[in-house]
Amino acid sequence: MGKSLISNNIRKLRFEHDEMTQQQLADKVGVTRQTIVAIENAKYSPSLELAFRIAHIFGSPLEDVFSYHPK
């Protein structure tokens, strides 16, 4: 698929949630830290399931964490 049309505020949400570190978030959602880094920096977009898990950790609806910007 083409370039990423999806942005996120994971970093912002991490800090709003007790300065949660990338490693802590990774542990909570069950992936490696590198995966969090890649998603945070929009290197690729996660699977839907992982996106849901991340949103769930932050207690936010998915669309508050990830936004889609179609052309």
Partner DNA sequence: ACTTTATGTAAAGTAAATTTGACATAGAGT
Partner DNA sequence: ACTCTATGTCAAATTTACTTTACATAAAGT
* Chain contacts with a second copy (rule: CB under 8 A): 1, 4-6, 45-53, 55-56, 61-63, 66, 68, 70
Token pair listed for 34: 């590198």
Q: What is the Cα–Cα distance from 8 to 65, expressed in whole angstroms?
A: 5
Considering beta carbons, is residue 30 or 70 the nearer one to DNA? 30
User: How many positions of this chain bind DNA (CB under 7 A)?
Assistant: 22
Angle at 35 between CA 37 and CA 54, to 5 degrees: 90
Q: What residues pair up with 67 in beta bridges, in sequence order?
A: 7
Q: What is the largest CA-CA distance in the chain?
A: 35
x/- contact string, 7-46, with DNA (CB under 7 A)? -------x------xxx------xxxxxx-xxxxx--xxx
Q: Where along the sequence are the contacts to DNA (CB under 7 A)? A: 1, 14, 21-23, 30-35, 37-41, 44-47, 49-50
